[in-house]
Amino acid sequence: MPATFRIWRGDDGNCAYEDYRVDVDDGMVVLDVVHKIQAEQAPDLACRWNCKAGKCGSCSAEINGKPKLMCMTRVGDLDLSQPVTIEPMQAFPHIRDLVTDVSWNYRVKEKIKPFKPRQPDAPDGTWRMAQSDVERPQEFRKCIECFLCQDVCHVLRDHHKHDEFIGPRFLVYTAALEMHPLDTEDRVADLKNRDGVGYCNITKCCTKVCPEHITITDNAIIPLKERVVDEFYDPLTRLFRIFKPRKK
Amino acid sequence: MSDTRVSLPQPRRLGQTSRQDAWWLQPLVVFLGLGAFVVYSTWAAFVGVNYFYGGQGAHYLSPFYSPLIFGGPNEPAVFGPKPEWLPLWFSPAFLILWAPGGFRFTCYYYRGAYYKAFWNDPSNCAVGELRSCYRGEASLPLILQNIHRYFLYLALIFIVILAWDAWKATWFLDADGHEVWGIGLGTLVLTANVVFLGGYTFGCHSLRHLVGGRLDVLSNKKIRKKSWECVSCLNRKHMLWAWMSLFWVGFTDFYVRMCAMGVWSDWRIL
């Protein structure tokens, strides 16, 4: 079946859409189409990919305007009666064609206080914890760092608050550490003052695009916002803390 | 993140997007739904009459006016008739509606919904937006959204009051003036109202945090763990409960109003 793919091409600000007419087969994903275009029409088309199984998070792009993994988007699910647009992520600096520079994310991650477990529970240096307690942060460990949530977040994408806001991916990362039953570190002040959790206005776009179906907003960001409220905006909780200090 | 160096694409203009689906439909539906409720509830609050139906021995009070602080004769007012020093336009609903209204206004679900539908911030996911300046909920005025849990405390009190109203709606005065237990269609309407509002209130994100979410270890606290699981269960459908309860609380007022105006007759089932 013939279909038109409209791909964002170029670098250094000299960019434009280019149309490619491709014969697509049943079962193809968008990454297959991009590879086919590379093989048959545009060998210099730049795109980042690796596992082709939705687990490495490399082939993030915007397909018909929606942030998605190219390897997990079936061509059969798209409307092929009109051109399918494939664009690079909008929240990061463009390098070339479909490739963006996502290194900002790694710099952000380095600044988040690392896991700091309590003293071991057993003489052999091991810990004991209940599965039910660790299930909550385990959801966040599913993240493959595709950065689609960062891409769709309007605080980064439209308002470019990269200096003040760490984005949903790293709020999930912080939640995984902060809610861990063994962790003793306190990141709540950082969340408010440095990481900009207050910038999130709960659009839930990050949750909608997550290919791992992590409930980012409800299970990570809002609970972190509530912890910030405990610490900074709720006088009653602060009053109770005088009599019963928080244990980490 | 002050050492970040990024050169980013130009932000898109309002409504600019490569999305091909009807991305405008969801914010439009929210705009119409919330807008209609705000207009109706404001009108119902200002009108100040037909909020109580006592015909056929019934005892139906509109949730917009419950608890009835001041009221007319034969109405279940807590403090009797409206004081004369209050202006004529002052409705007892003004003393009530700010609390549930504040609860919904600061609700995490509604925030996300009305930021999109009313403020285009953004209009929808991956759609260009109106303003270039953005402060989010990190500074005034929206930092005040953090007061949500205090509105939750008030909303929990209102659930008790509305449950009491639903209970009162099961008692009817017979011809001799004695109270007899029964069920009318209005009883079911008022009861469903409490159920929907309860589903919404008990699934609140702040409540989820307060009953157990703030703790990292719940396995040794059985009651808090069960509470957190129950609230989490309701929380997963928070949007659904929010809309059902919003519609039904408006309909409950409408039903009582129609009965009080004599437009509808309440159907006595038992």
pLDDT tens-place string over residues A177-222: 999 999 999 999 999 999 999 999 999 999 999 999 999 999 999 9
Domain that includes residue B142, residue range? 27-260
Put simply, whether B214 touches A (Cβ < 8 Å) is: yes
Put simply, whether B138 touches A (Cβ < 8 Å) is: yes
DSSP string, A42-56: -TT-----S-SSSSS
**Domain total of chain B:** 1
- Secondary structure element (H or E) that encloses residue A14, with its range: strand A14-23
CB contact under 8 A, B126 and A152: yes
Structure tokens at A111: 């600044």
Residue B167 lies in a domain: yes
Question: Chain B: residue nearest A225 by CA?
Answer: B146
Of B7, B134, B214, the CB nearest to A159: B134
pLDDT in tens, B159-173: 999 999 999 999 999
Residue B42 lies in a domain: yes
Q: Tell me: ipTM over 0.90.
A: yes
Question: What length is written for chain B?
Answer: 270
Residue of A157, A148, A150, A168 lying closest to A72 (CA atoms): A148
Residue B193 lies in a domain: yes
What pLDDT does residue B4 have?
44
Q: Superfamily assignment of A2-100 in CATH? A: Beta-grasp domain (3.10.20.30)
- Mean pLDDT for A4-19 is 93
What pLDDT does residue B241 have?
98
Residue B183 lies in a domain: yes
A85-94, A137-146, A232-241: range with lowest mean pLDDT: A232-241
Of A65, A82, A226, the CB nearest to B205: A226
User: Which chain B residues are within 8 Å of A14, Cβ to Cβ?
Assistant: none
Residue B269 lies in a domain: no
For CATH 1.10.1060.10, the residue range(s) in chain A are 103-243
What pLDDT does residue B2 have?
41
Q: What is the mean pLDDT of chain A?
A: 95
DSSP string, chain B: -TT-----PPPPPTT-----S-TTHHHHHHHHHHHHHHHHHHHHHHH--S-EE-GGG--EE-GGG-S-SS--TTS--SS-SPPTTS-TT--TTHHHHHHHHHHHHT-HHHHHHHHHHTT-TTSSTT---S-S---TTSSTTGGGGGGHHHHHHHHHHHHHHHHHHHHHTTEEE-TTS-EEE--BHHHHHHHHHHHHHHHHHTT-HHHHIIIIIT-S--TT-HHHHHHHHHHHHHHTTHHHHHHHHHHHHHHHHHHHHHHHTTSS---B--
Residue B121 lies in a domain: yes
User: Which chain A residues are within 8 Å of B146, Cβ to Cβ?
Assistant: 225, 228-229, 233-234
With a threshold of 0.90, does the pTM exceed it?
yes
Residue B17 lies in a domain: no
CB contact under 8 A, A130 and B219: yes
Residue A215, min C-alpha distance to chain B (Å): 10
Alpha-carbon distance of B36 to A106, in angstroms, equals 46
Residue B64, min C-alpha distance to chain A (Å): 28
Give residue B131's pLDDT band: very low, low, confident or very high (50, 70, 90): confident
CATH T-level topology, domain A103-243: Fumarate Reductase Iron-sulfur Protein; Chain B, domain 2 (1.10.1060)
Of B8, B19, B135, the CB nearest to A66: B19
For CATH 3.10.20.30, the residue range(s) in chain A are 2-100
Question: Chain A: residue nearest B8 by CA?
Answer: A93
- Mean pLDDT for B103-127 is 96
- Secondary structure element (H or E) that encloses residue A242, with its range: helix A235-243
Kindly tell me if the per-residue pLDDT of A38 is higher than 80. yes
Kindly tell me if the per-residue pLDDT of A77 is higher than 80. yes
Alpha carbon B114 to its chain's center: 14
Give residue B6's pLDDT band: very low, low, confident or very high (50, 70, 90): very low
Alpha-carbon distance of B173 to B55, in angstroms, equals 9
Give residue B143's pLDDT band: very low, low, confident or very high (50, 70, 90): very high
Residue B5 lies in a domain: no
User: Which chain B residues are within 8 Å of A67, Cβ to Cβ?
Assistant: 126
Give residue B3's pLDDT band: very low, low, confident or very high (50, 70, 90): very low
